[in-house]
Homo-oligomer: A and B are copies of this chain.
Amino acid sequence: MKLLEQLCKIHAPSGNEQNMAEFLLSYINEHKSSWKQQPEVLRGDAFQDCILLVFGTPRSAIFAHMDSIGFTVRYGRQLVKIGGPAIENGYRLTGEDAQGKIECSLVYNEEAEELQYIYEREIERGTELVFKCDFRETDETVQSCNLDNRLGVWSALQVAETLENGIIAFSSWEEHGGGSVSYLSRYIHEQYGVKQALVSDITWVTEGVLAGKGVAISMRDSLIPRRAYVQRIIQIAKASGISFQLEVEGAGGSDAKELQRSDYPWDWCFIGAPEDNVHTPHEIVHKKDIESMVALYKVLMEKL
Whether A125 and B208, one on each chain, are in contact in the complex, defined by CB atoms closer than 8 angstroms, is yes
Residue A260 interfacial (CB < 8 Å): yes
* B173 contacts A248, C-beta separation under 8 Å: no
| Contact yes or no, A228 B261, CB < 8 A | no
Q: Which of B18, B195, B220, B258 contacts A261 (CB 8 A)?
A: B258
Q: Indicate how many identical chains form the complex.
A: 3
- List residues of A (204-228) whose CB comes within 8 Å of B's CBs: 206-208, 219-220, 222-228
What is the 8 Å Cβ interface bit string for chain A, positions 152-171, against chain B (1 contact, 0 not)? Answer: 00000000000000000000
Q: What are the residues of chain B within 8 A of A192 when measuring CB–CB?
A: none
Contacts of A81 in B (CB 8 A): 250
Contact A15 B74 (CB under 8 A): no
Is A137 interfacial (CB 8 A cutoff)? no
Q: A74-B250, A75-B248 are in contact. Are A177 and B226 (CB under 8 A)?
A: no
The interface-forming segment of A138-146, A178-186, A276-284 is: A178-186
Q: How many positions in chain A have a CB within 8 Å of any CB in the partner chain?
A: 55
Q: Is A80 an interface residue (CB 8 A)?
A: yes
In the complex, what residues of B have CB within 8 A of residue A128's CB? 227
Closest residue of B by beta carbon distance from A83: B224
A186 contacts which of B46, B208, B263 (Cβ < 8 Å)? Answer: B263
Q: How distant is the Cα of A145 from the Cα of B183 in the complex, in angstroms?
A: 37
Besides the contacts A14-B224, A125-B248, what 11 more A-B pairs have beta carbons closer than 8 Å? A16-B226, A48-B267, A49-B226, A80-B249, A80-B250, A125-B219, A173-B260, A177-B222, A186-B263, A186-B264, A263-B263
